[in-house]
Every structure is written in C-alpha cells, then in structure tokens.
Amino acid sequence: HTENLLDILSDVAINSAFNSQEFEKRRTQYLSGLASSKDDPNSISSNVSSAIMFGKNHPYGEFANETSVRKITLDMCNQYYNTWFRPNIAYLSIVGDITPAEAKKLVEKYFSKWQKAPVNMPTYAKPTAPDKTVVEIVDRPQSVQSVIDICYPVDIMRGNPDYIKLQVANTILGGGIFRLFTNLREKHAYTYGAYSSIAFQPLISSFEATTSVRNAVTDSAVYQMLFEMKRLQNEPVPADELDMARNYMTGTFSLSLENPQTIATFAINTERYGLPKDYYTNYLKNIALVSANDVQSVAKKYILPGHANIVVVGKASDIASTLEQFSADGKVKYYDVDGNPYDPTKAKMAVPEGVTARMVLDKYIQAVGGMDNISKIKDITMKGSFSMQGMALEMTMMYKIPGKYLNEIVMNGQSVQKQVLNGDSGRSYGMQGTKDINGDELEKLKMEGLLFPEFEYAKNGYTVELKEMTKIDGQDAYALVITSPGKQVTTDYYSVETGLKLRTISTSETPMGQVTSQGDILEYTDVLGVKFPKKIKQTMGPQSFEITVNSIQANTGLSDDLFNLN
C-alpha cells in the first residue's frame, strides 16, 4: 500500500481544504473537550504551570480556553495552513522495506508539486528559572487532594554533552519507579505515584516533578520532593542504584526499537537538532559511560530546588499557610485557572454593614418567586440528562409536600441508583443492593428532599453564617456557611445583584474517603412563577459533568405510592 499511502498523504499536505461545516464540527468537539477538562485539577495544573514557567505570550505557555477557541475563524485556519505548511520547513521520514533510491523516486512523484515559500520563523525571549523558589496556588475550594508540580525552564537541548547524563539523573530521581516514587508512596504512603520528567523541546526545555496527595500532607509531600532533589545534588549515587537506572533506560530504549515510529523519530531528531549521524548508534554505549560523578554534576547544574516554581492546585484554606515555608519570601502567590495572577484579599470582600444571613435568604426566596407562588406548589417532577465518562444517563427527581422525595438515575433504561424519602424514613436502591438510610445520611436526604431548604434551616437545627463576599464567575456573591446538626458543612453562594443561588460546595465522607462536590447553577427556568435550576454543572472529585433539566411539571397529583419504601 506504499503508493496509496503516499498518494493520500501528499494530497492532505498539498491540497488541504477547509470548509465551514467541518470547521464548526471540529470546534464543537474541541469545546466539548475543554468543558470536560476545565475543572480537572490535573489539566488545571498543566495549564497554569506552563503559563508560569514560560509566560502566556510564549508558545509553550499558551493554552486554549473557550474564549480563544471561539475567536478562531475559518479564514484564520486557511491563513495558518498557507503560511506554515511548506516543504522547505518540513521533514519526511520513511521507514520500511524500501531502498533510498525507491523512496526518493516516490517522494518526487507525489510531493514535487508542493510549492516552497518564504517562511519567517518567529523568535521568542528565552524563559528562565526563577531567581528564588516561588509557591503558586490555584485555589480549588472543592478539592480534598492537592496536585503538586515543581517546575521550571531548563536551558538544554538534545545533542548537548549533558543530555544523556541528565536523562540518567532524572531517571534516578523520578523518571521511572525510583526515588520520588519510593519516598512518597512506599515510605510515607502520601500518594499512589510521584514522578519527574524533563521535556526536551526545540525552543527551551523544562523540568517537572509531580504528584497528587491529600490536603493534610501537601506540605510534607513538597518537603520530601525538594529533599530528593537536593539529595541528588549533595550525595553521590550508589553504584547499585546507578546500575538500576542505566539498565532501566537501556531496556526501555531497546524495546522502543521494535516500533518503526521510533526509528522515524530518531531520523527526524538527527536532522532537526543537528545530532551526529551515529548519535543513536552510540546511545546505549553513552548511557553505560555515565558515572556517579556525572549524575551529581548535572544535578547541581539542572536540578534546581532553590530556583523552582512550586505550583499547587488545591484548597487554599487548607494548604496555603503550610506552604509559605517553601517560598523564598515567605509568601504564596495566587493564580486563577486561566493562569492569571490575582490578590485573594481583593477577591474576598467585607460584607456590608447591616447585611445578615437571613436577609440573603429572604432575597433568594423573593428572587425565585416569593412565598405566595412557592406555597402554591404541592409537587414537582423534574427530568434531566447528563453524560459521565462517555455514558448517557437520565435523572428523575420527584418532590411531594410534605416530606416525600425520590431521586433516580437510569442508564440504558435500567435504574442504577435510586433514593426514596417517605417522611422520616429513607432507603437507597442500586447495584450494591438495597439499604435503609439512617443517621446523618438521612438528615441530609431530608434536606435534599425539600424544594427550598432555605425555609427549613432553623426548624431542622441547622446554623447559617454569612461568612464573606467573594467573586463567582465574575459576579459578587454572598457566601453562606450552613452547618447541619451532624456537623456537615455546606457553603452556598448567592448573587448580590439578583439574589439567586450560584454555587453549592459540600464535603461528605464516603467509603472511598472524603469527597467534595460543587454544583454551579448555570441557568434557571420559570414554572408557575417559580424559578428552578435548568442547567447545573456538577463537579465531584476529579469528575465534572453538566446536568440539563429537560422538563419540569408542577402540581400533577403525584401518587403517594411512588414514595413507598419497598
């Protein structure tokens, strides 16, 4: 299929066409991917770390968001293609059962029509590691874990005499299952894994050491990661550990040769970086020549615990004060999810004098329709849909006053989870079987079963505290902290302007440990003069999904039989 393949490949390269239908389809797919990763702490960490290391005006520090993707036009795509897709800045590597003469003949046949054109390559300022170590936090209040990334730019390219030595040093530190992994996972049980890497790139390289840990051990994990970086500088590597790292690299390299793509990459790297023609032929021999002195020498030069960005995505109120010790100036810098610095003291504002929690709740009740309209509603049926991990799910919620509630999730027509409240009794049904709901879990279900729990806080023994004013997606909002009799804490955020609820954050204990969930109400809809959530973005741990309420019916006379516990 060689000629068929080259015919298709050359057609794509030379005759690419961009039409509006394909453009919109691709953009929709891209935006969907961004939406799913927007609240993923690992994606946030990757984006913000890149922006901090390289600067947002550098190609390595730039990342897409919804606004930037929506600004792209079809004309911009055509212009990009016509500017950059040129044979004079392209590489073509062919690996297979073919002679150079045969390959050259076929390339001339299929690619000779590809027109050269001047290409003005842009230049960029070279990013550098910080003068002193800096701690940067992305505050994610719903996080029960912290994502840690110790990172900085490294001025080294492929072909540098230190390149292979640094690869060996990084392998010992965390490029395989080595020191970081052994320390943080096996010795201290902080995490499932901890690793380091050096990304060797054409403009500037970078170092990163990463892990995810519980909030309570975030500072301890950072200490151990810095400790291992310093140990590599200060202590010669024992012979057995050096042998293990070299053997690991040798084995990985040898296995990679089974993939033709690896050979193609080696050929392009040789040309792209001006490497000696025998560079990969001698690669294993050069690994074997790396000594303990070499490792310590490159560690002092390139492993820089005193000149690093310590980027942490997590719950700032739990971790910020404990991380100040690692910053050279004793301070922590804050960044939002788009990599923009901000002052958290300005994001949180003092509550105006005279405003109380009761006033905030009363304004909310008025904003959603007022007591007169709310009191006319005797039952509600809400049906919605959402997608989680590629699975399409449907949700039904039924409320009947007083004290009856049903919440069911269905996949492919089969109920996978169901909770029913009938007065003072509750029961759950699911793939793990049926069980009665008791204790704090029952009290929580009773509050969920209220259409507007804001009416019932005092009656049910809940305390409500107006904590502060803050920003929620650019809106000023009051933060109300609601504490249950069982000491479960929920924070609700209400728009200062409209009075409507914007966000709910709650933490609960599960068999998998403590889980924090966040619900953002993106849109309301009106039913009989009362506003109900229409779109809700739900984040639970690392997962995020958007619930769309497709229908809401009121006062349909729901049967009590629907809420029987059977």
Residue from 225, 233, 209, 208 nearest 295 by CA: 233
Distance between CA 415 and CA 393 in Å, rounded? 10
Nearest alpha carbon to residue 544 among 20, 32, 127 = 32
> Residue 132: pLDDT above 80?
yes
Query: Could you report the per-residue pLDDT of 491-503, keeping only the tens digit for each?
Result: 999 999 999 999 9
The per-residue pLDDT of the chain, averaged, comes to 92
Q: What is the pLDDT of residues 296-341, one digit of tens each?
A: 999 999 999 999 999 999 999 899 999 999 999 999 999 999 999 9
**Mean pLDDT value of segment 52-69:** 94
Q: What is the pLDDT of residue 287?
A: 97
Range with lowest mean pLDDT among 168-182, 187-201, 339-353: 339-353
Q: Which residues pair with 135 in a beta bridge?
A: 310, 332
Q: Given this model, what pLDDT does residue 514 score?
A: 63
Distance CA 226, CA 150 (A): 9
* Predicted TM-score (pTM) of this structure: 0.78
At 455-488, the pLDDT tens digits run 888 888 889 999 888 888 878 999 999 988 878 8
SS3 per residue for 448-478: HCCCCHHHCCCCCCCEEEEEEEEEECCEEEE
pLDDT band of 362, cuts 50, 70, 90: very high
What does the alpha-carbon distance between residue 102 and residue 188 come to, in Å, rounded to a whole number?
A: 59
Structure-token match 């049910």, residue found: 460
Q: Tell me what pLDDT residue 85 has.
A: 94
Report, as an integer, the average pLDDT of 274-287: 95
Given a cut of 60, whether residue 261 has pLDDT beyond it is yes
Question: What does the alpha-carbon distance between residue 546 and residue 538 come to, in Å, rounded to a whole number?
Answer: 6
The pLDDT score that the predictor gives to residue 517 is 83
- Omega before 402 within 30 of 0, i.e. cis: yes
Whether 35 has a pLDDT exceeding 80, the answer reads no
The string of pLDDT tens digits covering residues 93-122 is: 999 999 999 999 999 999 999 999 999 999
Reading the block at residue 529, the tokens are: 């003069």
Which residues 6+ apart lie within 8 Å of 137 measured at CB?
311, 312, 313, 314, 316, 319, 320, 323, 332, 333, 334, 335
Q: Give residue-wise pLDDT tens across range 372-422.
A: 999 999 999 999 998 877 788 899 999 998 889 999 999 888 888 999 999
Secondary structure letter of residue 350 according to DSSP: P
> Would the pLDDT of 512 be above 70?
no
Of the given ranges (144-153, 266-275, 277-286, 501-510), which has the lowest mean pLDDT? 501-510
Residue 306 and residue 112: Cα distance in Å, rounded?
53
| Residue 146 predicted with pLDDT over 90 | yes
> Cα(198)–Cα(249) distance, rounded to whole angstroms?
14
Residue 473: how many CB atoms within 10 A of its CB? 10
State yes or no: pLDDT of 4 exceeds 60: yes
| DSSP line for 236-293 | PPPHHHHHHHHHHHHHHHHHHTTSHHHHHHHHHHHHHTT--TTTTTTHHHHHHT--HH
Residue labelled with tokens 């005279």? 354
User: What pLDDT is attached to residue 513?
Assistant: 57
What pLDDT does 510 receive?
Answer: 56
